[in-house]
Each structure stands twice: as structure tokens, then as C-alpha cells.
Amino acid sequence: MHRNLNIKILAVGILLLYLPALAAAGKLTGIVKVKGLRSPANILVYLTKTPKSAVNIAGTQFVMDQQNLTFLPHILPIPVGATVAFPNNDKVDHNVFSLSRAKNFNLGSYKPGESKTIRFDKPGMVEVRCDVHAEMLAYIMVMKNHYFAVTDSRGRFEIPDAIFLEQSGIDGAANIPPGKYFIKTWHEKLKTKKQAVVVSNDEPVSIQLDLTRGTPSVLYK
């Protein structure tokens, strides 16, 4: 009887020891440092050469808002096949369009309070502009998997970005399976950084990426 109890306590103890590691496994966190740019925010960080990700995009709701002659957010990563709404929450008409190879579209001019949607069916970078306001510019990054994040105001990121995915209608997105991948960055004014990264089941992975000004390379080769 006593012996059984002891074994049980031992088992629970071992489980508790391992739980923190299990919870963090398959998560990749890090920080991006930039030279020659005021802020390390709005940098896309993503993994390539991953197994196919199986996120359900049926109920997703991604939004590229228009407020005060600005697209919000500035950079919006979405899984390939997802739809993006472009609500006009401004006081003037806008005409959203793109000439990008991954998606060439023109929503035409539409009024405050109206919204239009577009489905993005090819991976790649989509430069979004407004035909009325030349200063309006944003990027929709159509991603091959859900292992991506956009840096916050301090340059921090976590892949996958569970909060962003959940807010966008993707529940229970899987963490990164153990393996060796490439981590890459994309920002319109920063040289793309690409480095190998190993994700294991044993411990969380944390890395620092140092970026300099320059022209980014394409999202996928």
C-alpha cells in the first residue's frame, strides 16, 4: 500500500519536472535586432522546409483595415488560401489594388463603411496599394505554413504565434515538429536573414537575429 503510494508520488514528481519543457517544446522564440532602422517592429519571421501544416482555414477572418489614410496592419501574414477583408473605416473613398505576381487585383473605388474581400491562393508577397492615396502601402504575406510571426515593438517574436492565429480564427494550431529548418526574415527595408535552426522536443529554442538595411529577397525561392 505504502509502496504503491510512493511510486505514485514519484511518478507525479517526474511528470511535474518534465511539464514545463513539454509545454514549451516546438515553440521558437527570439528577438530581432536591427541596424539603421528606428524600430525592430513589423518584421516577418518565418520557417521554411517544414512539414506541411494542417491548419483549417475555413473559418478564418483576416483583416487589412483602412484608417486615417493608412493600412492596418502594415504587414499581414496569412496561410495560403485564406481570405482577407479590406474594410474602409475612413472618411474618404479608397481603391485598394495590387500588381504583385502572387495576387494581381483591383477592388475599385469604395465608400466609408463598405468592405471587400479577396482570396489569396498563391504563396508569396503581395504589395497592397491605394489608387487614390500614393502614400498608402502594406504587405500581405501569403505563407506556405503557419510557422510565422511578426515582431513586436521590441523586436520579439514567437513561432507559431498562437494568439494571432486564434484571433484570426485558427484554433489549436500545432507547434513546430522537431527537426531542422531554416528561419528567414522579411521587411521591405531590411536584408533578408536566413539561418538554420534546430527544434527539439527537449527544450524551447530561443535565438537572436541581427539585421541590416537593404533589399529583402523573395519570400519563397
Q: What is the identity of the amino acid at 144?
A: K
**Long-range own/partner contacts, residues 190-196 (CB < 8 A, 24 or more apart):** 190/34, 190/37, 190/43, 190/214, 190/216, 191/215, 191/216, 192/216, 192/217
Task: Give CA–CA dist 20/37, Å, rounded.
Answer: 36
Nearer of residues 21 and 132 to Cu ion, judged by Cβ: 132
CA angle 120, 138, 148 (to 5 degrees): 60
Smallest separation, CB 132 to Cu ion (Å): 4
Smallest separation, CB 164 to Cu ion (Å): 25
Rule CB under 5 A: choose which of 76, 94, 161, 183 binds Cu ion: 94
Span 120-159, contacts to Cu ion by CB under 5 A: 130, 132-133, 136
Smallest separation, CB 135 to Cu ion (Å): 9
Nearest residue to Cu ion, using CB?
Answer: 130
Nearer of residues 111 and 122 to Cu ion, judged by Cβ: 111
Task: Give CA–CA dist 164/46, Å, rounded.
Answer: 14
Nearer of residues 86 and 186 to Cu ion, judged by Cβ: 86
Task: Give CA–CA dist 120/104, Å, rounded.
Answer: 10
Smallest separation, CB 74 to Cu ion (Å): 15
Nearer of residues 74 and 133 to Cu ion, judged by Cβ: 133
User: Residues touching Cu ion: how many (CB under 5 A)?
Assistant: 5
Smallest separation, CB 114 to Cu ion (Å): 13
Nearer of residues 94 and 146 to Cu ion, judged by Cβ: 94
Nearer of residues 27 and 133 to Cu ion, judged by Cβ: 133
Q: Going residue by residue from 51 to 90, which x/- string records binding to Cu ion, judged by CB under 5 A?
A: ----------------------------------------
Buried b (16+ CB within 10 A) or exposed e, 15-35: eeeeeeeeeebbbbebbbebe
At residue 7, φ and ψ (nearest 5 deg) are -65, -40
CB 148 within 8 A of CB 29: no
CB 62 within 8 A of CB 85: yes
**Which residues of this protein are in contact with Cu ion, per CB under 5 A?**
94, 130, 132-133, 136
